[in-house]
Structure 1
Amino acid sequence: MHVIFKVIRQQPGAVPRIQEYHLEAEPSNTILECINRIKWEQDGTLAFRKNCRNTICGSCTMRINGRSALACKENVGSELARLEQAVPFGEQTDDNAAASIPTIALAPLGNMPVIKDLVVDMKGFWDNLKAVDPYVSTAARQVPEREFLQTPEERSRLNQTGNCIMCGACYSECNAREVNPGFVGPHALAKAYRMVADSRDQTTETRLEKYNHSTDGVWGCTRCYHCNAVCPMEVAPMEQISKIKSEILERTDAQFNAQSSRSIRHRKVLIDLVKKGGWINEQEFGLKVVGNSFRDLQGLMSLAPLGLRMIVKRKFPLGFEPSAGAENVRSLIESVKSLDKSQQVTLTSETPEPTGG
């Protein structure tokens, strides 16, 4: 089958350009096999990363037709089938009159500066991973004669996040990282949850305090699901971020007061107000979240300009009318909470004894 590969070429400091390569390929050929042939047979200057060729090292990640993926995992047949489903080849338009020829576009990863062609500088990626301290800390324990033991259930909590191969696909597609340079990224927070979930780690509270820091940590996630969609190892980074949030919220139930961060207040006040009235009382929401129930004077002052604009535009509600379905909403929320608690109790009661070595 004749396939056109459109590759983004770029030199440091230069404007990107598109270069086309025509190749005879089999549907079973991986994208990596194809660009290897392009480099060996057509253009030795083409730059890209590769190593294991077996979806283990994560080196060959690039954007394939607009999404970040492993070039050694995706093949020509499945990629063209995906494209055909999105836009039939007969309906594609192309100035070079090659609309009937299937085309695969290759580009460097996003959220990282380009070094050359499909090779990006991953220093920021690794620096952000380092920032979450992705190592088990047993500093508070006396080193035992035997290894630190875990039950099979405790070890199973680490399986999903342990599958991460640091390919950078989630980081490349992260909308939060694109607009917030301080956000550490989904890869780092997925690894962070592995440390939180590890029964051998002795710094859980310190970690949660660190991950709770403004929008640089878990509260910077916009829940766009792109990280989950592109992860080749089904680590589901956004789910791990949500688990860290839950851990933070559980630990702050007792001290939901002036010391609580605005992010935590936002989550808790929203649920409480929906339980109370079926939907959000915006006046009460602003005062409790931004103003911290009149404890945060700076926050209250920041609401004043908005309040004045709303009054001028006659958008300021004078009262609040609860939803007719508030009772049902309240019942649903309580049912979900009860279900979560019962599942936690079941897991605890079924935890087997530690296994040793």
Structure 2
Amino acid sequence: MEEGNTILECLNRIKWEQDGTLAFRKNCRNTICGSCAMRINGRSALACKENVGNELAQIPEHHRPEIPEITIAPLGNLPVIKDLVVDMRSFWDNLEAVEPYVSTAGRTIPEREFLQSPQERSRLDQNGNCIMCGACYSECNAREVDPTFVGPHALAKAQRLVADSRDTAIESRLENYNQGTKGVWGCTRCLMCNAVCPMDVAPMDQIGKIKQEILTRKDKQASRSIRHRKVLIDLVKQGGWVDERKFGIQVVANFFRDIKGMLSLSPLGLRMLARGKFPLGFDASEDTAQVRSLIESVQTLKSETPEEEILPKS
């Protein structure tokens, strides 16, 4: 093979000339359909997009064997049917769980089209580029350890509906996406979905936008996940960084309201005390005032600026 050949061309040649039983999915051959997603040298990518030269470039020349190898494997987090073909049912079921279509009420326009301004439509551009290839789902650490987590692909699509001016079910959607680790709070922010997405959808960023919508509507008592985020910001504003003594009490013990949560902290606290790792005091950062000013400036900007003006340009 030549360095300019794509991985998909390599697989075609194997199937056509060496082993006709090799099974893999393909369709458009042009980075549009997402069918040929697989793990190439340990990372999820599109076989029609990656080429031999780029893969060889990842191997330092002094470590490159006379006949270099490129390792191809099926996507992760999905059962293998045969060779590189995986069972995508959980992927599609989780997408369906977030109801990835404009609400019925939003579609009921009897006399005219439902028009959007260019600014309203531009809010859908980035997550609208998703081709459902499964690369992000394959690399999702949260999905690997928590089978109830719907996955980054579903939540990236969910954000498209939250941001859609035609949708009339935003509040009920946010309640659905706020369901513990099944929804947005299951994301561990490992950045792997952003790293492997071939269309620059940045699923983790989309999940963050949904979180922000939820946080603006909920107070600290709504859930531990929401309290975690709000307390973290409050403590950093107070001292420039997190006072770990207060963090556990305010988040897990819920300001001494959650007795069970407070008791769950006792074994860890005792071990820390025994090993001299429990901070008896707290030294605020010398730059606390500057940190507080930065946080308040960002919060003011978000509250006063239309979202489409502060969204990153893709």
1:137 partnered with 2:99: no
Retained in 2: the 8 A contact 1:154–1:198? yes
Superposed CA deviations along residues 196-227 of structure 1, whole A, max 9, x for unmatched, are 11111111111111111111111111111111
1:261 partnered with 2:261: no
Pairwise CA distance, 1:288: 1.3
**SS, match of residue 49 in structure 2:** coil
5 Å-filtered alignment, 1:259-298, equals 260-298=222-260
Name the structure 1 match of 2:75: 109
- Using a 3 Å threshold, how does the CA distance of structure 1 residues 345 and 66 change in structure 2: closer, same or farther? closer
Pairwise CA distance, 1:315: 3.4
Name the structure 2 match of 1:39: 15
**SS, match of residue 103 in structure 1:** coil
Pairwise CA distance, 1:292: 1.5
**SS, match of residue 29 in structure 1:** coil
- Using a 3 Å threshold, how does the CA distance of structure 1 residues 296 and 100 change in structure 2: closer, same or farther? same
- Using a 3 Å threshold, how does the CA distance of structure 1 residues 346 and 59 change in structure 2: closer, same or farther? closer
Name the structure 2 match of 1:250: 216
**SS, match of residue 303 in structure 1:** helix
Alpha-carbon separation, structure 2, partners of 1:165 and 1:145 = 32
1:303 partnered with 2:265: yes
Q: Which amino acid aligns with 1:244?
A: I
- Using a 3 Å threshold, how does the CA distance of structure 1 residues 101 and 242 change in structure 2: closer, same or farther? same
5 Å-filtered alignment, 1:1-357, equals 25-81=1-57, 83-84=58-59, 87-88=60-61, 90-92=62-64, 99-139=65-105, 143-252=109-218, 256-258=219-221, 260-344=222-306, 347=309
Q: Which amino acid aligns with 2:261?
A: G
Alpha-carbon separation, structure 1, partners of 2:303 and 2:214 = 16
Work out which of the two has the higher radius of gyration on C-alpha atoms and give 1 or 2.
Answer: 1
Per residue, is there more strand in 1 or in 2?
1
Alpha-carbon separation, structure 2, partners of 1:346 and 1:190 = 17
Pairwise CA distance, 1:347: 4.2
Retained in 1: the 8 A contact 2:220–2:226? no
Pairwise CA distance, 1:142: 5.4
Retained in 2: the 8 A contact 1:32–1:71? yes
Q: Which amino acid aligns with 2:39?
A: R
Which runs of 5 or more structure 1 residues have no equivalent in the other structure? 1-24, 93-98, 349-357
**SS, match of residue 70 in structure 2:** strand
- Using a 3 Å threshold, how does the CA distance of structure 1 residues 157 and 42 change in structure 2: closer, same or farther? same
Alpha-carbon separation, structure 2, partners of 1:314 and 1:32 = 57
Retained in 1: the 8 A contact 2:220–2:230? no
- Using a 3 Å threshold, how does the CA distance of structure 1 residues 27 and 317 change in structure 2: closer, same or farther? closer
Q: Relative to structure 2, which stretch is displaced further, 210-219 or 143-152?
A: 143-152
Q: Percent identity?
A: 71
- Using a 3 Å threshold, how does the CA distance of structure 1 residues 150 and 290 change in structure 2: closer, same or farther? same
Pairwise CA distance, 1:59: 0.7
- Aligned length in residues: 310
Could you tell me the TM-score, scaled by structure 1's length? 0.82
Which runs of 5 or more structure 2 residues have no equivalent in the other structure? none
Per residue, is there more helix in 1 or in 2?
2
Pairwise CA distance, 1:293: 1.6
Pairwise CA distance, 1:281: 1.7
Tell me which stretches of 4 or more aligned residues in structure 1 moved more than 6 Å.
none
